[in-house]
Amino acid sequence: MDLTDKQWDIVKVILPSDPVREDGRGRPWTDPRTALNGILWILRTGAPWADLPKRYGSYQTVHRRFQRWREEGFFEDLLVALAEDLRERGGLNLEECFIDGTFVSAKKGGTKSGRPSGAKEPRSWQSLTAMVFLSPEGQKALRRLK
């Protein structure tokens, strides 16, 4: 599931420009959309970088791009932009936010800290997107909105 044209139009405005050497030498940068799709594939699947499908290019290149964008704060800016868009459309209300860990699914007879079965885990794109805001980068982005 790669970015749609409409999604890419939102992202490319936030994307930092690629550095160019003063002498004009060096290889040209790979397509940023393809690299971002590769990064999102890794984040979505949890696979190791070496398992990145060839359609996204070299995993080393995509990983290097991921590191550079993370250092430059691109992902935090992206999360802020997405959160602001959700707030404008009424899908995010920061008036009252909390995380509740009192409900944890458990197997009957299993240990309390045991991992729930795959059938019990959320699989919708909405729940996976919401999980992004629980990550450390997501928490920083939400703090910037207050």
pLDDT at residue 32, rounded to an integer:
92
Per-residue model confidence (pLDDT) at position 37: 93
Per run of 10 residues, the mean pLDDT along the chain (length 146 residues) is 84 86 84 93 92 94 93 88 78 66 58 54 60 70 71
pLDDT at 52: 95
pLDDT at 38: 94
CA distance 146 to 141: 9
pTM (2 d.p.): 0.63
**C-alpha 82, offset from chain centre:** 11
